[in-house]
Each structure stands twice: as structure tokens, then as C-alpha cells.
Structure 1
Amino acid sequence: MHVTPLVWVVTLAVLALVLVIDVIHMARHPHEPSMKECGLAITGFVTAAVLFGLGIGLFARPLPESGKSSWHYAVEFFSGYLTEYSLSIDNLFVFIIILGSMRVPRKYQQFALMAGIILALIFRGIFIALGAAIINQFAWVFFIFGAFLLYTGVKLVIDYRQSGSEEEEHNEADNAFMRFARRVIPSTDEYHGDHLSVKIDGKRLFTPMFFVILTLGSVDLMFALDSIPAIFGLTQEPYLVFTANFFALMGLRQLYFLLGGLLQRLVYLSLGLAFILCFIAVKLVLHALHHYNVVAWEVPTALSLIVIVVTIAITAVLSLLKTRREGVTE
């Protein structure tokens, strides 16, 4: 797909403007968003993603030698967007544990989540640039990406089977991190709004909010290591990879408040994501083998989109049926 420097600049400028407006509004009005507010924000971001994908299909300029249509790239965008969004929803479980164990006031959880999202965009932007450069030079890297995604998928299944102690492990890790950080970094025991540091008796001290964002940043770094190989398995276009990540992450903050209770009911989400990651791993390996003329067939992009949509739908339905049945029997 031919993306001119001007298109990149305009896209980044518009996305940065959206991000800045969101940050300014949140900073001026710190609060726990209502269900209506969350619903409107998520609807707005999802609608924007759909319109962007349709815009790709209508206005993208495929390279003549690629043999692809503009709508092929639109399907790649939607496949990547749905995969990244699904992975982001799974990540919300960890955010809930972190913010709960660190006792972040509900009023300031928006600020912490927004800071985590900005860090995630930075990390993923770096990984996307590096990934695109590596892929353009070394096609064999798809074998590594495929192996890593297969490992991640298997690990999700193992974590699901051990989910009984998962929350305790996260809490213990977070509390141990906080105790260590407070021993080596001058800090306060209480939150001071959304300030990362305060000056008390002439001495600069870091607040717990600083450590919350530090923790979210380290978690986002690990999430990026999972998600970037996954989306590169669906499209090798850096423009589509970055925009799909942006739309998937924006609205995640509101989704945290809207689905906080519902997330606990998506009991099969990890299994669904494990299947998607393993499917993409196979797709990556087949793509690499096709590049080296070992096999003649690749997984079509349209099939990838169908598999992702059907898996997410089945996962959600079975999860809700299971939790409803257990709720009735209990």
C-alpha cells in the first residue's frame, strides 16, 4: 500500500489532536465516568475505527506489483483492529488487579489509565517501526514471530487453568514492587490527586500515582511484545498496524469502567485469544514458507477476519452462558 509522507503526517497530527483533547478534558474534569459517558465515548471510537477502515477501502492506493485491491487492505485493518481490541480487553483484567491492589481512588483511575495508554502507544510505535524494518529485510523473522505467538497462546491456556491463584500472584507482585520502590525512592504513603510528585518540607517526594504509572508502563511493555507480532501476522503495512493499535487503545479507559463487572464474566476470553494467537502463528509460518517457495498456499486475509470474528463471538456467548448458569445454580 502506498502511503505518502503527507498522509503519515496528517494522520499522526489528527490522532495526536484527538489524544491531546482527551487528555485536557480528563485533566480539567477528574471524575469517575458515568455509564452513559463511557457508552458514548466507546461508540464514538468504534464508529471512527469503522469509518477509517471504510476510508481505507475507498481511498487506499495499492502498489501495482502487489496485485491487491484497496478493500484487501481494509479487511487487513479490521482484522488487526479486532485482534488488538480483543487483546486489550484481556489486558483490562490486569489493569483491574493493579489499580485495585494499589488502591487508586476511582476519581483518579482515568488519569492512571490514560498515562498507561500513552505509554502503550509510544512502546508500540517503537516496536512497529523496528518490526517493519526487520520484516522488510528478513522474511525468516516470521518463523520467530510464529513461535512466539504459539508460546503465548499455550501460556494463555496454562494461565487459564491456574486462574484460581492468578489474582493473588498479581497482588503479591504489585505489593512487593511497591515495598521495594518505596525503600529506594523517596515517596509519600498517600495520593495527592493526580500529581506524580509533591514537595513536602522542601523535599521532593514521589506519590503512589508515580508507581502506579510505572507499573502500568512495564505491563504495557509486555503487552506490546504479544500484540505487535500478532498484528504483523495479519498485515505487514506499518500504517495499518499503527492505526489499528491506536483505535484499539482509545476507548480502553472508558471500557474499563463500563465493563469492570462484565469482564469477570468473560471466563473463556483467554481461551478464545489463545486460539486466535495460535491461528495467527500458523498463518505466519505458512506466509514465511510461501515466501521461500516451500508451500503454494497462504491463509487468505478474509478467512483470518472470519476466524477472528467467529472466535470472539463464540467465546463471549459461551462465557455469558456459563456464568449465567452458575449464577442460577448458586
Structure 2
Amino acid sequence: MDVPGWVWTLTVAGLVALLAFDYVFHIRKAHVPTLREAAVWSALYVGIAVAFGIGVLVFGGTAMGTEYFAGYLTEKALSVDNLFVFLVIPHSFRVPREYQQKSLLFGITFSLLARTALIFVGSALINTFAWVFYLFGLVLLVTAGNMLKPRGGEVEEAGNIAVRAARRLFHTTDGYEDGRLFTVRDGRRAMTPLLLVMVALAGTDVLFALDSIPAIFGLTQNVYLVFTAVAFWLLGLRQLYFLIDGLLDRLIYLAFGLATILAFIGVRLILHALHENNLPFVNNGEPVEVAEPSTGLSLGVIVVVLVVTVVASLVSHTGRAQTAIAGARRHATAYLDSEYTADPAERERIFQRLVDEKQQIIALGPKYKQMAKDAEGLLDLVDRAKASHDAAVARGETPAGHHH
């Protein structure tokens, strides 16, 4: 079904307005969003995406509506892996918490432009060559296999190549210079690390687009639906980042769930390719009669796999242990890093999380303590953070309302 030009114009205008709103209201004043703020905005963006989907159902019919929701859910699920990268990069650059919103929003804007270009290229390829479905299917099957491997440093590598090139080409400063992108050093214009972080986020995100775009084309070939599902998902991503900061460690079975979804869509794409086949060496260039799972069934599979994965992760003791260990290490490092945040309430929040995590690690008992590669070193790190906090309390530096 073709979508008229005026609908496209209205949709793009609406998305640009949402982005502009984010730039004007959220990042003009650097701050650390509270959990409540992130939750409210996250719910709002999901609400907008769902309302749009209901509009598609009403005006475009059941088939279009189902395709949109299947695409949006798949992108949302795959984005959790994306978020892992979005957490790693600011962390490895030691971006002060207050400026993380700004770097993320820029990264997301760039993603939106890059992915829009990829969507139109993908669509042109599909319309011209039916065999592209085979290629997309294989890409997803390979990605599904890769997801089951333990995480290595490939994430940081991708970002680092872009960053090393930028550092070599431009004069860069070491400090974050009040969240500016450029500053003047010794009479020369210099780039701040914040711009490098944005380059790294955008560069790495393009790699992720290479598996998420084929995945969504596996569910719908309607360019309008692909574009809107990707755009609404991206716009809600920044809020989600602050919301699930601690949840990522908990979802220990997520990789299996995502691998299952990608493999399922990969197989669906290959079946679709056989159905449309015109490759001379497959069935003499004739289409192969095979059954294809419907979009409704695909949506069902995606929802069930995600629910099972999340529930299994949340009830798992190993997951709980892993969360406490990873969280304690991250929070202790952040607390001891004087440049991590200038906001006393944020420092206090990190410290409170740390106190809870230490209790959890001690309560885990010896079986799970072995999971922390360096359990003694970790507890030592936590104790150093506590000593630093006690010294601050003694100097009367804790935020009002937090008396110990």
C-alpha cells in the first residue's frame, strides 16, 4: 500500500518537532535526569509510538498495523543491545553524567539520518533485486550466531577507530569544558572530548543498523512503516538509557532471546526469498513453493520470546548476583572519579546504590562470590568509596536531607 506524500510530510514534520523539543527542553541545562523523570518521558515516548500504531491500524488496516507493531517491537528489543554500547562508550570516555544526555541526543539524531539513508537504500535494493532477501536473511543468521558468543572488545574497537582518526586530524582538549563541543586553546580552535564521544556513538551505531534494518525489512517491506518504527524507537532511546542503566546487567538471558528473534526473522527472509526466487541456480530461476509465517505469527513469536527471556532473567539467582557485582564495580569507580559528576545528589545516589550492592554481594555467599573475578579487589574498591564518602560527611559535604 502506497502512503501519500502529505502523510509523509506530516510524519516527518512531527518527528522533527519532537527532536527539536528534546534539544530545547532537555539538554539546554546540563543535568542528571532522575529515575522518575526518565520513567515519565520513556512512558510518554512509548505512548506516542503506540498511539501512532493504533492510527496505522485504523487508517491502514490490520495488516499494516501488525507489521508496524512487529517492526517497532523488534527494533525496541534489538536496541537494548545498542544501549549496552551507549553505556560503554560514555563510560570509557569518563563523560560527566550531566553531559551524557547531550552526547546521546546528538548520537541519536545522527543515527536517525544514517538509518533513514540505509532504509531507502535497502528498499531500492529489495525492489530491484529479489535475491537481496537471501543476503538479508544470511546477515541475520550470522548476527544471531555472533550474539551467543561472549562479549568481547569489538564494541569499543568500532568506536575507537573513529575516535583515533578524529584525534589525529583535530586538535583536542582533555577536559569537558562545560559541555561545549569546541573551545579555544592557546589561540587555536580545539575539539572537546564530548564531540569525540558523539563521533564514537554515531560510528558504532551505524554498525548496529546493519543488522536491525534487515530485521525490520524481514517483517515489512513498506518503507513508511520501516521508517516510522525506527524513528519512534530512536526518539525514545535516550530516556530508556537513564531508565535501564542498572537493568542491563540483570537481563542475562537477553542475548539468547535476541538471537532467537533474529534467527527466526532470518529464516522468514530466506523463505520469502525462495518464494520470490529468480536466481538461475536455485530451482532453475523459478519461485519455490514454501510456507511463510504470517506477520501476526511473527509478532506473537517476538512477544513470547521477549517475555520468556525477561522473566527468566529476572528470577535467576545468577542474574541477581551478576547485577550486584557489575553494579558495585561501576558505581564504586564512578564515585571515586572526581570528574564523574559535580552534582552532590547524584554522588549520594551512586553511594546509596553501592551500599545496597555491597550488602547483596556479602549476602550471596561463597558460591556466587567466585563470579566476581576479583572479589577481594572489588570489596576493597567499595571500601575506598565508603572511606571517601565518610570523609565528605565529616566535612559536611553531603546533600541536604541525607544525614547518616
Confirm or deny a common fold (TM above 0.5). Answer: yes
Deviation per CA, 1:84-143: give whole Å up to 9, x if none: 011111111111111111000000000011011111101110011111111111111100
Which residue pairs with 2:311 in the alignment? Answer: 317
2:222 equivalent to 1:226? no
Which range moves more in the overlay, 42-51 or 228-237? 42-51
- Indicate conservation of the 8 Å contact 1:150/1:277, yes or no: yes
Return the index of the structure with the highest Cα Rg: 2
- Indicate conservation of the 8 Å contact 2:27/2:101, yes or no: no
Within a 5 Å distance, the mapping from 1:133-144 to structure 2 comes to 133-144=124-135
**Residue 170 of structure 1: how far off its partner (Å):** 4.9
Which residue pairs with 1:149 in the alignment? Answer: 140
Cα distance 1:5–1:177, how it changes in 2: closer, same or farther (>3 A)? closer
- Aligned residue type for 2:242: F
Structure 1 length as normaliser, TM-score?
0.91
Which range moves more in the overlay, 169-178 or 277-286? 169-178
Cα distance 1:17–1:176, how it changes in 2: closer, same or farther (>3 A)? closer
Which residue pairs with 1:250 in the alignment? Answer: 235
Which residue pairs with 1:19 in the alignment? Answer: 19
Structure 2 length as normaliser, TM-score?
0.74
2:277 equivalent to 1:289? no
**Residue 201 of structure 1: how far off its partner (Å):** 2.9
**Residue 261 of structure 1: how far off its partner (Å):** 0.7
| Distance in 2 of aligned mates of 1:285 and 1:194 | 47
Cα distance 1:179–1:8, how it changes in 2: closer, same or farther (>3 A)? closer
Among 76, 81, 98, the residue aligned to 1:107 = 98
**Residue 2 of structure 1: how far off its partner (Å):** 2.4
- Indicate conservation of the 8 Å contact 2:159/2:204, yes or no: no
Cα distance 1:240–1:171, how it changes in 2: closer, same or farther (>3 A)? closer
| Distance in 2 of aligned mates of 1:74 and 1:173 | 36
Which residue pairs with 2:48 in the alignment? Answer: 48
Helix, strand or coil: the match of 2:248? helix
Using CA pairs below 8 Å that are at least 6 residues apart, which structure has the higher relative contact order? 1
- Indicate conservation of the 8 Å contact 1:286/1:295, yes or no: no
| Distance in 2 of aligned mates of 1:172 and 1:118 | 22
- Indicate conservation of the 8 Å contact 2:140/2:215, yes or no: yes
- Indicate conservation of the 8 Å contact 2:155/2:204, yes or no: no
Cα distance 1:5–1:198, how it changes in 2: closer, same or farther (>3 A)? same
| Distance in 2 of aligned mates of 1:121 and 1:96 | 19
**Residue 308 of structure 1: how far off its partner (Å):** 0.3
| Distance in 1 of aligned mates of 2:209 and 2:196 | 20
Within a 5 Å distance, the mapping from 1:1-330 to structure 2 comes to 1-60=1-60, 70-158=61-149, 162-163=150-151, 166=152, 170=155, 181-292=166-277, 293-322=287-316, 323-324=319-320, 328=364, 330=368
How many residues are paired up? 315
- Indicate conservation of the 8 Å contact 1:234/1:280, yes or no: yes
- Indicate conservation of the 8 Å contact 2:140/2:214, yes or no: yes
Helix, strand or coil: the match of 2:177? coil
Deviation per CA, 1:183-210: give whole Å up to 9, x if none: 4421101111222111123210010011
| Distance in 2 of aligned mates of 1:76 and 1:25 | 33
Deviation per CA, 1:286-309: give whole Å up to 9, x if none: 111112330242110001000000
**Residue 48 of structure 1: how far off its partner (Å):** 1.1
Which range moves more in the overlay, 106-115 or 86-95? 86-95
- Indicate conservation of the 8 Å contact 1:187/1:205, yes or no: yes
- Indicate conservation of the 8 Å contact 1:231/1:241, yes or no: yes
- Aligned residue type for 1:204: R
| Distance in 2 of aligned mates of 1:212 and 1:181 | 11
Cα distance 1:18–1:169, how it changes in 2: closer, same or farther (>3 A)? closer
- Aligned residue type for 1:139: A
- Aligned residue type for 2:2: H
Which range moves more in the overlay, 308-317 or 293-302? 293-302
Structure 1 stretches (4+) deviating beyond 6 angstroms?
none
- Indicate conservation of the 8 Å contact 1:112/1:213, yes or no: yes
| Distance in 2 of aligned mates of 1:134 and 1:47 | 33
- Overall identity of the aligned pairs, in %: 48
- Indicate conservation of the 8 Å contact 2:159/2:203, yes or no: no
| Distance in 1 of aligned mates of 2:292 and 2:131 | 15
**Residue 310 of structure 1: how far off its partner (Å):** 0.5
| Distance in 1 of aligned mates of 2:250 and 2:156 | 20
Helix, strand or coil: the match of 1:265? coil
- Aligned residue type for 2:308: I
Which residue pairs with 1:66 in the alignment? Answer: none
| Distance in 2 of aligned mates of 1:237 and 1:51 | 19
Deviation per CA, 1:212-243: give whole Å up to 9, x if none: 01101111110111110000000000000010
| Distance in 1 of aligned mates of 2:242 and 2:233 | 16
- Aligned residue type for 1:318: A
| Distance in 2 of aligned mates of 1:88 and 1:29 | 27
